[in-house]
Amino acid sequence: MTTVSIKGMSCPHCVASVTKALEEIAGISNVVVDLAKNEASYEGDVGAEVVKEAITKIGFEVMS
């Protein structure tokens, strides 16, 4: 699994938004978003820029 740190999530609605955004990317599966750890994990062979763009587009920031 690939894990990315996300800045700006504060509630279950944020988790749902990030989950939906990642699940809509072709090639990504098994998305798990952890609010307590501020991170999202997923399976799939998708470039990091694609994931970062999807998360940024909905108002959150991907931490390096």
pLDDT tens sequence across 8-60: 999 999 999 999 999 999 999 999 999 999 999 999 999 999 999 999 999 99
Instruction: Retrieve residue 18's tokens.
Output: 């990030």
Domains of the chain, first to last: 2-63 (3.30.70.100)
**8 Å CB contact between 55 and 7:** no
- List strand residue ranges (DSSP E) for the chain, in order: 2-7, 29-34, 39-43, 61-63
Residue 64 pLDDT greater than 90, yes or no: no
Provide the pLDDT for residue 5: 97
Residue 9 DSSP code: -
Distance CA 14, CA 44 (A): 22
| Structure-token match 């763009």, residue found | 53
pLDDT at position 56, please?
97
pTM: 0.92
